[in-house]
Structure 1
């Protein structure tokens, strides 16, 4: 463990005496619990520290940049000016975990200037909230500095404790790794350099991806991430296991010897630390969205949060396929009659999902594998031009399907698998989105499976950050909302562009169906709730009732109980939630299906009732449209009893609560389908104890009597 040899106050006084002028270099949170100090060393090198509850949690941490061809930003600065200000507003989410969001912070703005003859300028801005801090670099317009070719950014987080850390490797291509739980000093990301299930993984350093969450011995919780990632490279955090130090390590490209190219003026993304003395407040924090700019799209009422079904899970099980059975000869397609007879996205099958959705209060149907090209993209080096996004297979009558869906009050969700051939997709976006507009489709699931084309680019580099963001901005012109898979991480841009509705960006449900390592273990989602979910909505595709897959894949299964699958509709947030299983599996289980029919997707309030990172979590959410409450709780591989107090309900009001919980003999592996459903009456202040089985959970719908 690392000890502070110089008390913080002496450090500040020592470095402050090197400044000819005295400047305000300290800022606290509105509730005074968090304090940030900024200063320069005698060599003019900028650094900061962070205190929480009078304890240093980030010690002297240096800031700077390496540039190509010009001198680095690492020293020889003076403080030209420093100022503080306060900001307090309440803004409303058009959709989200709640309606009203308080955006209250104190700001420290430091204007730096080099003492060398170039006199280049750099501003560093800190925003300090009650739930954490965000800071970024601003490169103002200036005569002696026009273009920044950034080789790397050197933002440090110098920690004072060997925290218990929940992390995935700093992969430049995917986030689809299982979370590891180790001490900070024991992180070894390079052991995962050869991913078992996906070929495009690339882990060049002992680094972690963000959000990365840590828990201290005194209960201090920290989570490191970034906000407002625009025209910049994604940030991983390189780990110095000996000195307990994290340092930004930007995702690069094989095509350049720099990682970011920007013309001045510009700002970097915000570097963020969520800070709390308990786990539930991490989930309730709105730090990431607050650090983004307000809505630039205006009215987005054309998008409706919804549940959806779709032709997807059956293809992972092997019941059907994405491809139809066509052959390609240069630019022409030859219909071979769907020889294998397993194509899932056919008119009849999709109508079956439409009928089921219409009957069960489910607003949409996702259709994957509807367009030509699926036979010729996996394994092909040159995938440019393989897909188009307007030509259906012969057995999919898009006119009839969309007519039928409209008649039934169901929206078809478009699917665009780009195969990571970005130039093809960019060229076709207007045509593809115009087709959606023609048919009244307002949501698209996009995919980027495979190595990025052009060759040498990575999923998380500046090139792809711009591609993902530009695709969503373009989609908004056609009233289309985007749910991206194989994406760049969420950084709160859903505030600025509310049509960025959800994304994957984690090891999802499909790994249970085909991964060779046993699928996602019971601890996976109790970690995800306090790591990946802190960055934004997750399209995790819950609701699997046929846990064991015996009919299709007897060697695979979902490693939860059926009660936990119901709980995920409340615990794992997204404005679109898939009822992912097959129609026949739902029809065989009408009683648990009732919860999926009832549960909301768009929330007025969210309360995190309890939780510990990696162990368990319970969340209550109130639906906007009805005012009904829904509660979900999940646990890891350990059984436990959760005590609930319904203190979030209205005074002097009785409610009917329908409880879906693990049966007495439930177990994620031995007896996952054991479920008990019961009704009770509750009111504000009522108590309830619920037993969760190993890998289990519970879900409750609560409606006014």
Structure 2
């Protein structure tokens, strides 16, 4: 009797009641109210203020032989918690943040249970299992009822024949749920509920497939890749792929916590890029000391197709070319170069032996003398098939890390492979850039040596896409949606820039959609602690003023805020690194004038500001820009014009420091 009284008191303190099989829990600020019912099946609905933003939605697990966790459940234990903590976040968009939530944990008679956490920024739930018995999960029920008239931003699979096998890169279909295509979409995805936007994500994905969604009437329903039964290889990269699947999604080995289903709730678009729920819900750091991890910028070979002008040697995947990249990086204080595909014979899958035109030991020593580290590209499964030997061999040689590519799936075995790579590279003090990967799920909190993820329709697309794939629009959309999940390997830095009327795809001499200043703004707008200068060193050397400006922008910050912006239209981001601030903005193809204010600066302090902005002719020549200097303080207000597809960056330094 005393235990029941304590549970009731705790529920009331968290803002809820316990009537029969209904439970509720509020956010710390009481704005979000989550109601859970376990009468016939597990369902929930959510209110924001006085408005219901998610209608009754069913959840559950279907085990082998069709047994459903969620039907006729008997709750045998109820626990509630009020957690308020500070999370330290190395190499994240801010170095620490407050994590405050109320938790409701229901345990069922059969050893399963479900946990709900409600934050001021949204809510999340996860299933768990407490027994030692091994189980097979045939499917997961995740039927989220938003209403068919609600508009959503959905990134569909790009592979109609094998929809779970693709690179997790696409633009968004902005459509009403009831009018969405009959195709699965990968996460994150956002729904406009009127008084707020709800973004669906996941966190702490461990030994379980990632979640996709598909529109079905009023619902967005969870869909999952099946557990692989047979793997085969594509011959051109020794890349494995799923050839045959089982009829279940996961094999669970005893007591387990299943992934968090995350719903970020944002009443203003400016809250979206800085929502921290995915990171907060992930497992804490497992690798200990992170002092050896060094984020930085990268001089990259692949996007510019190894093009060098005015040199006296044949540019390509060879010793002289990479020494040139190292020299360029060193002169501009760029920390790394990447040796992308071609440094070993991809078809053979023999990563232990570079091609004959490369002397890797010599390049490592050459870079070491110039303070430039080398990161190597590899296919995921090629690394995984000889993981310990590869990591030990190249760490001993002096390689700083790996860029792994072409996972292109997120079934349970793929997720397990990523964790193995993260753990082994951390063991050998190697950084990890996850390319060709599913969206971030907080693993960079658990393994901070993961310093970037792709899963973004990035700059590489400009080599082959069409103007209909509107990249300036995408550039001011994905920071609000995809970046909630974590950092992005967008690979900016194009020095050939096109207006909407003159842009053309070009594989060997690519150009970006939008202005050169739009490209520069990527270095501040995007969370990217391992970011590329994607163009050719000789193109950067032709404009040393611009190159010096972008190469001195930091990649790690103490805090981040979004002063203004609107999804799909424009964004302005402000970040602090020490006592310096960096502010950047981007627009879609619409030119616009914005007014900037600086309330985040210290009161009474004068700052020197240096702005890189679209030139007066940037609407006609997207490469036109200018740099101006001025003084600013916390009370200042300035106007900035953004050309069509334009942008700007402002570097702000206290005058006592700059002088």
TM-score above 0.5, yes or no: yes
C-alpha distance in 1 between matches for 2:356 and 2:623: 39
The equivalent residue for 1:304 is 294
Pick one of 626, 648, 653 that aligns with 1:698.
648
The equivalent residue for 1:133 is 123
C-alpha distance in 1 between matches for 2:359 and 2:510: 34
Structure 2 residue matching 1:537: 3-state secondary structure: coil
C-alpha distance in 2 between matches for 1:650 and 1:433: 46
The equivalent residue for 1:428 is 386
The equivalent residue for 2:371 is 409
Runs of 4 or more, structure 1, over 4 Å off, are 21-24, 316-319, 516-520, 548-556
The equivalent residue for 1:358 is 330
Alignment check: 8 A CA contact 1:388 1:428 kept:
no
Alignment check: 8 A CA contact 1:609 1:620 kept:
yes
Structure 1 residue matching 2:223: 3-state secondary structure: strand
* Structure 1 residue 662 corresponds to structure 2 residue 614: yes
Offset at residue 555 of structure 1 (A)? 9.4
TM-score (structure 2 length as normaliser): 0.88
C-alpha distance in 1 between matches for 2:394 and 2:600: 41
Alignment deviations for residues 25-79 of structure 1 (CA, whole Å, 9 cap, x no partner): 11101111111111123xx311111111221111111111222225222412122
Offset at residue 469 of structure 1 (A)? 1.6
The equivalent residue for 2:547 is 593
C-alpha distance in 1 between matches for 2:469 and 2:301: 21
Alignment check: 8 A CA contact 1:23 1:82 kept:
no
The equivalent residue for 2:65 is 69
Alignment check: 8 A CA contact 1:316 1:510 kept:
no
Alignment check: 8 A CA contact 2:307 2:316 kept:
no
Offset at residue 436 of structure 1 (A)? 2.5
Pick one of 179, 185, 192 that aligns with 1:215.
192
Structure 2 residue matching 1:225: 3-state secondary structure: strand
The equivalent residue for 1:40 is 38
Pick one of 539, 543, 546 that aligns with 2:493.
543
The equivalent residue for 1:324 is none
Alignment check: 8 A CA contact 2:211 2:224 kept:
yes
C-alpha distance in 1 between matches for 2:536 and 2:120: 45
Structure 1 residue matching 2:215: 3-state secondary structure: strand
Alignment check: 8 A CA contact 1:123 1:138 kept:
yes
C-alpha distance in 1 between matches for 2:278 and 2:538: 40
C-alpha distance in 1 between matches for 2:307 and 2:57: 49
User: Does the C-alpha gap of structure 1 residues 524 and 352 become closer, same or farther in structure 2, counting only changes over 3 Å?
Assistant: same
Alignment deviations for residues 562-590 of structure 1 (CA, whole Å, 9 cap, x no partner): 00000000011111111111011111112
C-alpha distance in 2 between matches for 1:526 and 1:214: 17
* Structure 1 residue 234 corresponds to structure 2 residue 210: yes
C-alpha distance in 2 between matches for 1:229 and 1:60: 25
Structure 1 residue matching 2:386: 3-state secondary structure: helix
Alignment deviations for residues 213-264 of structure 1 (CA, whole Å, 9 cap, x no partner): 122334x111001111110011011211x2x211211122432111111022
The equivalent residue for 1:16 is none
C-alpha distance in 2 between matches for 1:304 and 1:425: 22
Structure 1 residue matching 2:652: 3-state secondary structure: strand
The equivalent residue for 1:567 is 521
Offset at residue 130 of structure 1 (A)? 0.5
Alignment of 1:190-589 (within 5 A): 190=182, 206-218=183-195, 220-240=196-216, 242=217, 244-252=218-226, 253=228, 254-315=244-305, 344-369=316-341, 371-374=343-346, 377=347, 386-418=348-380, 422=381, 424-448=382-406, 459-515=409-465, 520-547=470-497, 557-589=511-543
* Structure 1 residue 675 corresponds to structure 2 residue 633: no
C-alpha distance in 1 between matches for 2:537 and 2:249: 47
Offset at residue 348 of structure 1 (A)? 0.9
Alignment check: 8 A CA contact 1:598 1:701 kept:
no
Structure 1 residue matching 2:547: 3-state secondary structure: helix
Structure 2 residue matching 1:297: 3-state secondary structure: coil
Equivalent residues, number:
609
TM-score (structure 1 length as normaliser): 0.83
Alignment deviations for residues 298-345 of structure 1 (CA, whole Å, 9 cap, x no partner): 1021111101102222328799xxxxxxxxxxxxxxxxxxxxx96722
C-alpha distance in 1 between matches for 2:401 and 2:103: 37
C-alpha distance in 2 between matches for 1:227 and 1:129: 15
C-alpha distance in 1 between matches for 2:462 and 2:343: 26
Pick one of 638, 645, 648 that aligns with 2:600.
648
Alignment check: 8 A CA contact 1:213 1:530 kept:
no
Alignment check: 8 A CA contact 1:519 1:559 kept:
no
Structure 1 residue matching 2:366: 3-state secondary structure: helix
C-alpha distance in 2 between matches for 1:402 and 1:429: 21
RMSD, matched Cα = 2.2
User: Does the C-alpha gap of structure 1 residues 265 and 292 become closer, same or farther in structure 2, counting only changes over 3 Å?
Assistant: same
C-alpha distance in 2 between matches for 1:290 and 1:61: 24
Pick one of 557, 579, 590 that aligns with 1:603.
557
C-alpha distance in 1 between matches for 2:573 and 2:644: 19
Alignment check: 8 A CA contact 2:304 2:509 kept:
no
User: Does the C-alpha gap of structure 1 residues 151 and 23 become closer, same or farther in structure 2, counting only changes over 3 Å?
Assistant: closer
The equivalent residue for 1:334 is none
Alignment check: 8 A CA contact 2:190 2:481 kept:
yes
Pick one of 569, 579, 588 that aligns with 1:636.
588
C-alpha distance in 2 between matches for 1:518 and 1:587: 32
Offset at residue 550 of structure 1 (A)? 8.8
The equivalent residue for 2:639 is 689
Alignment check: 8 A CA contact 2:464 2:506 kept:
no
Gaps of 5+ in 1: 1-18, 114-119, 191-205, 320-340, 378-385, 450-457
The equivalent residue for 2:156 is 169
Offset at residue 599 of structure 1 (A)? 0.4
